[in-house]
Structure formats: structure tokens, C-alpha cells
Amino acid sequence: MNNVMMLNKRTPIEDAVKRSNCDLKMLVQALQASVQKRDKAALLQEICRIIVETGGYKLAWVGNVETDRKKTVCPIASWGEEEGYLASMRVTWADDTPNGYGPIGVALRRRQAVIVRNIKQECSYEPWRSGAIKRGFQSAIALPICIEEVPSAILVVYAAQPEAFDQQAGNMLVSLADNLGHALLSLRCQAISPNSKEFERLARLDLIGQMAASVGHEVRNPMTTVRGFLQVLLAKEATASNKEFFHIMIDELDRANCIISEFLSLAKDKPEKRMVKSLNGILEAMYPLLNAEAIKNDQLIFYELCNIPLLLLDESEIRQLFLNLVKNAMEAMPKKGVVKIRTYFCNQSVILEVADNGVGIPKHVLNQLGTPFFTTKESGTGLGLPVCYGIAFRHNAAIDIKTNEAGTTFQVKFSIKEVLERTVS
């Protein structure tokens, strides 16, 4: 019985792990929705659902910010235990009425998040207090959603506990609201631009790149803290019986960290590290690693590297691109499969080819390749190919895919124009 009681009693560290896990899942699912949803109403509804069902909050809603004389805020999406609360609210962000000095009005005028730590005690919440308490709302946060630094909507989240929005929770939701603003801007741009699949793919990469850095920072900080506590517990004799569980938790944190690292590879603004390099030299240096992996999988890997000009390359990024493509090729083949690597020069471009003799890519899957978070693998993240597209874009290169029932070939075409221009100058 004592053992059962101990299992049911969570420690502060376990609570912190659970909270960080919820935050990470909420943020990742919100990012997936931001990239995949192409309709504004559907996107906002899905974001509200994720905040409530994954984040564990009672209610989330998004209101449209009107710029008329009354400066009203009209709910347009919601999820959770609302029970007529939104219909009864009268919200404005005008500064000439008491209703404009609640958390929503202040957040919109200041363009920053406003937290109500305890609804029962917050004076500015008086106009909406009774309805909130009746529905079990104890704390709230109002987050402006800005497009090009102008508030266009407001995201409001309610919790069942007072003081629910500490620094970690607040920062997570601020990042989520900022990223939602990027997503809405992307939808707006796609609506007024030509109906091009290539434009849509690049727009999505640009969107997820803008999201990457802030998300990585906000998620990694609490994860690092939790991992440190777990390592401390591993060294204590008093918690020796739980070491197996601590190892599992650390492994899961490390796996999440790897996903974040891959996600950060999509960051839009990365420092320029390209130098004049030999593509063949980079590929040759990676052969021992790739050959060892091929032998382990009972597969073969062949190189056919022709004489090619030097290119402007970021070596670490090219290594990552090449590794991702070869890994995909190996995973697409059964045992005894063959991966062929070729480089050659054609029409003022250097071509890198990675070809496999698998079964090819179905047409419905081919159309989705390169879309962030799209994957057909059970344990895949859906970020490998988007990372490749991002690297290619930063190198002014293009990726082309040729596939049939006999296999698939990925071609990366690098222009030599930049190298020629640098040589001339």
C-alpha cells in the first residue's frame, strides 16, 4: 500500500516535467497547425483547441480587433468550457471607457501580454468577474496577435487555478501568439499572390523559419532545467529505485532536443558562413560514415564524382543536406538496395544526385514532400526534407525529384554564378 501511495504522489520535479511536456506538445502542435492549415477560421479554431486539450487550460478564444470608433473586440474562434461567457462579454480596446481598461484593452494598446493572476482579486476585471468565477476561471492571459507590428486580433486563455501563468507558461503562450501572427500574415500573402505550388512551399518554409529561433529558446530553457534535476536525482541513493524511469525521461528530453535542433535548422536569419569549397571533397569525407551505415543495413553505396567547379558552400549545412538525402534513400530501400551518389557539371550548374532503387514515391505523397511536419514514417518528424529545402534555398540551389517504380532520384542544382562573380570582383 505504501508503494501505491508513493506512486500517486508526484514530486515538484515530476510536475515540472509534466508541465514542460505539455508546453512542448502544445507549441509543436500549434506550429503544425500554423503550417498545415490554409484557412484562417480553421487555423484559429484549431489553435484554441490545442491550447485547451493539449495545454490543459479551461478556455481559449480569439477575437477580431475592430478599428471603428467603438474599437470593439469580436470573438471569432473558441474552444473549451465557455457556456455563453463570450456572448455576455462586452469588450473594447478604446481608452475612453472602463471596459477598455481590462486586460484585453491594455494588451492591445500596449502590444504586449497582460496576465490576470487572480480573477477574484484583480480590480480591472470587475466587469467580467462574476461570469468568469461562475465558470471556474481563476486566472487569465491576454495576448495581442500582431501582423507587421499592428494588433489584428487577441488571444485570451483562462485557467482553472490562480497564478497559472508563471514566466514559463507566459513565455510559451507569447511565442505561440507571435507565431500565429506570422501564420496569419503568410495566409494573407498567399491569398493575394499567384497560385503557385513553389511559392506556397517557400512561403511555408519562410513562416516556419520565422518561428524557429524563439520557439527553440523558450522550449529548451525549461527542458535544460528539468534534465539537470533528473541528473541530480540519478545520483541520489534515496531515489535509486526510480532510476529506470529517470533514464527514460532523460532519453525523451534528449529526443525532443534533437527535434528542436532540426527545427532550428529552418531558422530564416542565419549567419552567412559560405566559403569557396569543393563539393566533392565534402562528400568524400563523409564516405566512411555512410558506407558503415550501408553495411549495417546490408546495402551498398556507390560514388561517381566527376570534375566540377568549386562552389560557395556552408560545409556544415551541405553535410546535413547530403546526410538527410542519403538517409532517406537508405530508408526507402530493402536489404541489398543500392544508393548511387553522382556529381557532374551541366548548363552552368553543379548537379548532386542521390538515387535509390526502392519502389518510388506515390504521387499523393510526392505532392506533400517538403511540407514541414509531413511524414510517412512512424517515428519521423517531417522536418528532414524541409531542412534540405531551406539549405538549398540559402545556397541559391534548387531541388528536383524524379521517381518511378524503379526508384527515386533527388537532384540538387547549384549555380556557379556566385563563384564566378566573386572571382571577377
> What residue spans define the domains of the chain?
11-264, 275-424
80: exposed, middle or buried (C-beta count within 10 Å: 0-12, 13-18, 19+)?
buried
Task: Please name every residue paired with 154 in a beta bridge, in sequence order, or none if there are none.
Answer: 63, 144
Q: Give residue 307's Cα distance to chain centre.
A: 39
Give the pLDDT score at 261: 67
Give the pLDDT score at 24: 75
Q: Are 181 and 147 in contact (CB under 8 A)?
A: yes
CB atoms under 10 Å from CB of 74, counted, come to 12
pLDDT digits (tens, 9 = 90+) for 356-370: 998 888 887 777 676
Give the pLDDT score at 318: 93
Give the pLDDT score at 350: 96
- Tens of pLDDT along the chain (425 residues) come to 344 434 445 556 566 667 777 877 888 788 878 877 878 999 999 999 999 999 999 999 999 998 878 888 999 999 998 889 998 888 889 888 888 889 999 999 999 999 999 999 999 899 999 999 999 999 999 999 988 788 899 999 999 999 999 888 898 899 899 889 888 887 876 666 555 555 555 555 555 555 555 566 566 666 777 788 788 888 888 777 888 888 888 887 777 776 666 666 655 555 567 899 999 999 999 999 899 989 999 999 999 999 999 999 999 889 989 999 999 899 888 888 999 999 999 988 999 999 999 888 888 777 767 666 656 665 555 667 878 888 888 888 999 999 998 899 999 999 988 777 666 55
Give the pLDDT score at 211: 58
Give the pLDDT score at 340: 96
Give the pLDDT score at 133: 94
Closest CA to 324 of 267, 279, 270, 387: 387
Q: Are 263 and 383 in contact (CB under 8 A)?
A: yes
The arrangement of secondary structure in 11-264, i.e. its CATH architecture, is 2-Layer Sandwich (3.30)
C-alpha to C-alpha distance for 372 and 345, rounded to whole angstroms: 31
Give the pLDDT score at 15: 67
0.85 exceeded by pTM: no
C-alpha to C-alpha distance for 411 and 53, rounded to whole angstroms: 42
In single-letter form, the type of residue at position 13 comes to I
**Matching residue, cell 501580454:** 113
Give the pLDDT score at 51: 96
CATH topology of domain 275-424: Heat Shock Protein 90 (3.30.565)
For the chain, the straight-line distance linking the first and the last C-alpha, in angstroms and rounded, comes to 80
Give the pLDDT score at 67: 81
In single-letter form, the type of residue at position 177 comes to A
Q: Are 208 and 372 in contact (CB under 8 A)?
A: yes
Give the pLDDT score at 50: 96
In single-letter form, the type of residue at position 93 comes to W
pLDDT digits (tens, 9 = 90+) for 70-113: 888 999 999 998 889 998 888 889 888 888 889 999 999 999 99
- Strand segments, DSSP code E, in 99-236 are 114-116, 139-147, 150-159
